[in-house]
């Protein structure tokens, strides 16, 4: 069965070159030449992998990566001409799985993509879009949340906050990290917005509010009781 790949690259020749190699390996390639088009495609097609250039028009690759990670754990490979360590760290902090610098061999890119999918096989896909903790259930593709089988209506920020905490299960997240992950690195509002949204989220989760733990002087952690 062909795997669906979203290839996001604004350089036409580079895009065609990469596409040819993936098609030779029986991948179904969907192309986007800007970030906005990429996000539109992602909303309508269940992709198995995203290969994402950083420097793009409309919406840059960092923003695309951040938006995808809010709703999906699909494997992401970032490709870029930039080699700075800070850029690589940024990519990994935003949830990228691999980081490939230009120039690179398309054969190697396909090999890394295949290896990445082998590592994640069985943890992604449609069944993997639903996660449960106690009576809490979150369907990341449908953007639905329920507790004890009853639907829970969350605001967009509350939903994003819940996904960020689930993604980092068992890890203490500082308020600054949560602000960057949920509100974006350009947000300059009051950090207490995190506390306010945590309080609202806990109230809506009802019996499962205990999943979100306060770590004094450090931040918050999403974790079940032992």
CATH number at residue 99: 3.40.50.2300
Residue where a domain terminates, one of 109, 125, 141: 125
Please indicate, yes or no, whether residues 101 and 80 belong to a single structural domain of this protein: yes
Give the span between the Cα atoms of 222 and 175, in whole angstroms: 13
Question: Which residues are CB-contacts of 221 (< 8 A; sequence separation ≥ 6)?
Answer: 165, 170, 171, 172, 173, 212, 213, 215
| pLDDT the model gives residue 123 | 41
Please indicate, yes or no, whether residues 89 and 109 belong to a single structural domain of this protein: yes
Please indicate, yes or no, whether residues 99 and 161 belong to a single structural domain of this protein: no
Give the span between the Cα atoms of 114 and 108, in whole angstroms: 10
Domain region containing 108: 3-125
Q: CB of 38 within 8 A of CB of 72?
A: no
pTM over 0.95, yes/no? no
How many CA atoms are closer than 13 Å to the CA of 186, on its beta-carbon side? 3
Write the CA distances from 57 to 5, 19, 53, integer angstroms. Answer: 20, 20, 11
Please indicate, yes or no, whether residues 137 and 114 belong to a single structural domain of this protein: no
Please indicate, yes or no, whether residues 215 and 104 belong to a single structural domain of this protein: no
Please indicate, yes or no, whether residues 167 and 182 belong to a single structural domain of this protein: yes
Give the span between the Cα atoms of 105 and 146, in whole angstroms: 45
| pLDDT the model gives residue 5 | 92
Q: Tokens 């890394």 correspond to what residue? A: 112
Rg (CA), the chain: 18
Handedness of CA 208, 210, 214, 219 (dihedral sign): negative
Residue where a domain terminates, one of 105, 125, 145: 125
Q: CB of 49 within 8 A of CB of 22?
A: no
Question: Which residues are CB-contacts of 176 (< 8 A; sequence separation ≥ 6)?
Answer: 191
Tell me the helix, strand and coil percentages in the chain, rounded to 5: 45, 20, 35
pLDDT tens, the chain, 226 aa long:
468 899 999 889 989 999 999 999 888 899 999 999 999 988 888 788 899 988 888 888 888 888 888 777 788 888 877 655 555 666 666 677 777 887 888 888 898 888 777 766 544 344 457 888 889 999 877 778 999 999 999 888 888 899 888 888 888 888 888 888 787 766 666 778 889 999 999 999 998 999 999 999 889 999 886 5
């Amino acid at each position: 069965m062909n795997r669906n790949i979203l290839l996001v690259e604004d350089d036409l020749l580079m895009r065609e070159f990469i596409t040819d190699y993936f098609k030779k390996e029986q991948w179904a390639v969907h192309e986007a030449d800007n970030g906005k088009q990429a996000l539109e495609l992602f909303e309508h097609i269940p992709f198995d992998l995203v290969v994402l250039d950083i420097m793009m028009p409309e919406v840059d690759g960092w923003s695309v990566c951040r938006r995808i990670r809010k709703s999906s754990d699909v494997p992401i490979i970032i490709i870029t001409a930039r080699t700075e360590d800070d850029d690589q760290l940024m990519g990994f902090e935003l949830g990228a799985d691999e980081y490939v610098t230009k120039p690179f061999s398309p054969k190697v890119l396909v090999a890394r993509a295949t290896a990445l999918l082998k590592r994640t096989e069985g943890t992604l896909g449609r069944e993997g879009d639903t996660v449960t903790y106690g009576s809490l259930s979150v369907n990341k593709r449908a953007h639905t949340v329920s507790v004890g089988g009853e639907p829970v209506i969350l605001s967009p920020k509350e939903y994003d906050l819940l996904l960020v905490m689930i993604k980092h299960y068992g890890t203490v997240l500082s308020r600054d990290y949560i602000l960057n992950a949920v509100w974006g690195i350009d947000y300059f509002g009051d950090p207490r917005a995190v506390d306010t949204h945590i309080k609202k989220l806990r109230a809506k989760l009802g019996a499962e509010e205990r999943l979100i733990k306060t770590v004094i002087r450090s931040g918050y952690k999403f974790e079940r009781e032992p």
